[in-house]
C-alpha cells in the first residue's frame, strides 16, 4: 500500500481549505470597508430593507448587491459578471439579532462547473464558518441554476 498518496491527498485538501479561508477573510475585509449596508443596493426583486425569509437562511433577511451585480440584474444580462457580490444578512425572528452573513462572489474561472461562485458564511463577528466551493450551498442553490444560482431575483 502506498500510504504516502493518502498523506499527499490530505495535504492538498488542507491547502485548498486554507486558501479558501484566506479568500473568505479578504472578502470580509472588503465587505466591511465597503460599508455595504449604506453604500450598496438592496437586491431588486425583494422588498428594500428587512423582509421575511424562507428556510434555511433565517426568519428575517436583508440582502445587498454591489454595483456590478446590480447593473447586470437591471440589464437582464443573463448571468453575473466577474466581481459581482451578493451579501445576505440573516436575522432571528425579532429582526434584531444578526445570526449569520452569507455571501456569494463571482470569481471568473474559480468553479466553472457551478457558475464560478465563491461561497462564504460568517458569524456576526466576521468569523469564517464555511467558505470556498461549499457543497451544501451549491447543491441547494443549484435549484436556481436558471437564474445563475440566485434565488431572490431574475437575471434574464
Ligand atoms: C437548503 C437550501 C439552501 C442552502 C443549503 C443554502 N441556501 Fe442560500 N438561499 C436559499 C434560498 C431559498 C434563498 C432565498 C432566500 C429567501 O428568500 O428566503 C437563498 C438566498 C441566498 C443568498 C441571496 C441570493 C439569492 O440566491 O437569493 C445568498 C448570498 C446565499 N443564499 C448564500 C448561501 C451560502 C453562502 C450558503 C452555504 C453556506 C447557502 N446559501 C446555502 C437556499 C439555500
Q: What residues have CB less than 8 Å from 122, skipping those under 6 apart? A: 24, 28, 100, 101, 102, 103, 128, 129
Domains of the chain in start order, with CATH, are 3-147 (3.50.70.20)
Which residues does ligand 1 sit against, CB inside 6 Å?
Answer: 53-54, 56-57, 61, 63, 86, 88, 102-104, 119-121, 130, 134, 136-137, 140-141, 150-152
Cell digits of residue 140? 441547494
| Confidence at residue 1, expressed as pLDDT on a 0 to 100 scale | 60
Which residues have a Cβ under 8 Å from the Cβ of 153 and sit 6 or more positions away?
Answer: 43, 44, 45, 46, 73, 147
Pair 21, 119: CB distance under 8 Å: no
Give pTM, 2 decimals: 0.93
Supply the pLDDT for residue 101. Answer: 98
State residue 19's pLDDT score. 84
CA of 92 from ligand 1 middle (Å) equals: 16
Which residue positions in the chain have pLDDT lower than 50? Answer: none
- Tens digit of pLDDT for each residue in 75-94? 999 999 999 999 999 999 88
How much distance in Å is there from the Cα of 79 to the middle of ligand 1? Answer: 17
With contact defined as beta carbons under 8 Å apart, do 147 and 40 qualify? no
| Ligand 1 centroid, distance to 50 Cα (angstroms) | 16
Nearest partner of 117 among 109, 129, 128, 105, judged by Cα: 105
Amino acid at each position: 500500500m502506498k500510504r504516502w498518496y493518502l498523506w499527499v491527498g490530505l495535504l492538498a485538501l488542507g491547502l485548498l481549505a486554507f486558501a479558501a479561508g484566506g479568500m473568505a477573510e479578504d472578502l470580509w475585509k472588503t465587505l466591511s470597508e465597503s460599508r455595504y449596508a449604506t453604500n450598496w443596493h438592496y437586491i431588486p426583486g425583494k422588498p428594500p430593507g428587512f423582509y421575511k425569509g424562507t428556510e434555511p437562511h433565517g426568519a428575517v433577511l436583508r440582502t445587498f448587491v454591489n454595483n456590478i451585480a446590480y447593473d447586470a440584474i437591471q440589464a437582464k444580462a443573463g448571468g453575473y459578471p466577474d466581481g459581482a457580490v451578493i451579501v445576505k444578512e440573516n436575522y432571528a425572528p425579532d429582526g434584531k439579532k444578526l445570526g449569520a452573513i452569507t455571501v456569494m462572489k463571482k470569481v471568473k474561472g474559480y468553479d466553472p462547473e457551478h457558475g464560478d461562485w465563491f461561497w462564504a458564511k460568517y458569524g456576526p463577528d466576521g468569523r469564517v464558518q464555511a467558505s470556498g466551493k461549499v457543497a451544501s450551498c451549491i447543491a441547494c442553490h443549484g435549484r436556481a441554476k436558471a437564474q445563475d444560482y440566485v434565488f431572490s431575483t431574475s437575471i434574464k
